[in-house]
Structure 1
């Protein structure tokens, strides 16, 4: 018996590899399999050239120089390198870090690790719409503030923080500014110079590239201590044999995103708004979590009152959605992001993140609206 696969609306968790990205990667698994660190023969030269080209593609998407791009295994490693690397390099001089209570666990847990090593961390609480203010950040800064880390766009509610203003304030105060831009890069325009960013983390699998590859942008002049020893690859900041197929895939994904981003941003925001408005109109006692103006074009997080959250997700058998970050989906506690916004536990449990993407079509949205309405009505009865 064959079962139809559900409509995929969990693009914030991961994206499928674009066929054009896969085509670019395939030769580097087979006939062009050289080690990019092998500089004495053709195979190594080919691999090194491919890595250099991909580095340029990544840099171009975020307005950086290719010399400022360090390849990692993903955004989690990039976040760890940014935060731990900064603290280990400069923590003896200053040891205060400012971040936000709604950060991804890759930043949140790293900050807690640094606290155990002597760092003092201030966790800013956002307003009920998920945003922090410049005044709030400014009041938290101290003479010994070393680093500010603020997520560009939240993975659960899609809210976009005032990154350029935050970066400008940090630059004025000579404070290093890091942003986890994993959910933003490739979806909205990101420019490290415009936004005054010193360190930026990204991951390929959020923009139609492969899993297991990411990058950290390190502005020229920023000092970091490497977290991996053994070979001093990536200008001494990240040892380990380079994942050439993955790097090629990341580069191609960035190149494709740069050519289609504005069109996709417009198309997905229209589909997202239709999905959101139709659900709110068709299903009573529902509301959107997070700011509805400053957010990603493809993300909406909706709470459903008077419904058991577990039963709700289990009943969505025709759509693939989530109620939070994929990194915390095994936990039974309500979303810490929604709790930080003041959402009660019962509503946080019954909140669903719908995230659309490159392969979402109008028919998918229409079917999702009907399915959500039917499921919620049945559960409420």
Structure 2
């Protein structure tokens, strides 16, 4: 019995130590994951290699079984030789790449609040860390526009490439309107699909007013401000003609800034003709000088692959597992408030 008791006590001690180690390891892993979630993850994809693999797969599928067997044998030999050559270069401390210039591909699909600019700034920073003037950057842009400050910052991120002398091309397959075009015009070359929506160089803002409804129900709303124009139009208060006039003045000032920016980026444009708030399809936009060529991003990339190594750059912000399935209630509430704010006294591009 004493032996069994001692053995049981020994097992209990071992179990306690194991559990303690497991808890400490779980804490360390959890902290590491949280830090990684905050940092996000930069993903670099060699699009040239993906296309080459797809091309080879299609070519092989059209061969008869005997030819496929010979092809696979030849490829195995080729890969073995390439691996041997790369290993030899590595031993000499030389890069294994073929020395071709690169085309870095960034995707930007913008929403109204332009929160995607947080990833864009990381992607641009990553490209600037390694790019040379011989390299190029292609931004596949899709956005109907949104808040002024958000798209202003997004355009500024693309200007960082321009200021470093790195050729920048923007490809519009679907839409680059308003704030989206503010970003696109930074590029030295703009390509649009035939029916892509381009332009809409204008500013809009709207706000509902419930003052009369509240008055009918004997509900008073008090709004106190310090500064004559701290609030020009409100949701619940009684709006004045002076406030409306100031609101329109602010919209016009924003429009003038928008026009000046586009004119600076594309001096050849007849800005008064295109800055009416209208949008045009790709072919029409080319006639007006808003874009430089009619094509899709796919054809553009395939053409660039002939001379350049094409690399996709994407920065992903990690989400918690629970958020992936249920979504974040707080984020949803914030976005709902953002929509109301956007429709209020803050203008949209």
Is this a same-fold pair by TM over 0.5?
A: no
| Larger helix percent | 2
Q: TM-score, normalised by structure 2?
A: 0.25
Structure number with larger C-alpha Rg: 2
Q: TM-score, normalised by structure 1?
A: 0.23
